Amino acid sequence: MTSLASPPEGTKVILHWLNKSRSQRILFLLEELHVPYEIRTYERTADKVAPPELKQVHPLGKSPVVEIQVPGRSEPIILAESALIIEYICEYWGKQLIPARWKDGQSGGIGQESEAWMRYKYYMNYGEGSLMPFLVMKLVIGSIENAPVPFFLKPITRGIANKVYDAFIHPNLASHFAFLESELASSPTGGDYFCGELSGVDFLMIFPLEAAPGRVPDLSKETHPKLFAFVERMHERESYKKAVEVIIKETGSYDPSL
């Protein structure tokens, strides 16, 4: 792959950050790479949805959104979707977080990709495309289960929720988290991260793994030691701690849960 030039001097990165959203992992990445940035924070409404102001940044009104102002460009670059943002930032500011594409001694060609690079491309799609939908479904069904309804309707809403959990959500979550535990156990070169060495994928995966406890049945340090060790390892990074400090300073508190 052709090496990309570094961003020109004066490039400005603006992170549009929303509480209880995926945007914290972008802040974590920016701190890890020492990318100069500006942060603009938004709070969810009483209905727990993003405020309308975010639609002025991106038509869908979601977060994270990263705005990049480049000298000489009349319009900023607007990036949405966590995986795209992470890949784009890594390509220009964090090439060390992208695994080498080709196996040692290979010049490039189909089937010559390294295991680390194949994992990198896979997880950039898997995190949001396969794993997060089940965690979001658990959140939505939980809101139905705990909805403020008359007491005589509680057994009905609870019964519906439990049927969805037992037949669909919980079996799928169990499969995903068993898979993730095995993936860390078989990490390339015996590494501590999803692609062996630290990569952009780890910044993507930290959010669902932080959100999982309490939502995934039978998830504990005893049953999934590799996953819990991974989260603790990421939390120990100075860039993670700094990102939390930034949000506490900006908003007064920080809660990593959904």
Q: What local confidence, expressed as pLDDT, does residue 3 receive?
A: 65
Q: H or E segment at 26?
A: helix 23-33
User: 72: number of CA atoms within 13 Å, CB side?
Assistant: 4
117: left (phi over 0), alpha (psi -120 to 50) or beta: alpha
Q: What local confidence, expressed as pLDDT, does residue 162 receive?
A: 84
Sign of CA dihedral 158, 163, 165, 166: positive
Q: What local confidence, expressed as pLDDT, does residue 120 receive?
A: 98
User: What Rg value do the Cα atoms of the chain yield, rounded?
Assistant: 20
Q: How many residues does the chain have?
A: 258
DSSP state of 190: G
| 92 contact partners, CB below 8 Å, separation of at least 6 | 4, 6, 7
Q: Residues 20, 255: contact at Cβ < 8 Å?
A: yes
Q: From CA 24, how far away is CA 33, in angstroms rounded?
A: 14
Distance of CA 141 to the CA centre of its chain: 22
Q: What is the mean pLDDT of each run of 10 residues along the chain (258 residues)?
A: 78 96 97 97 93 96 97 96 98 97 90 96 97 94 79 77 90 97 94 96 97 92 97 98 97 84
Tokens of 136: 């979001």
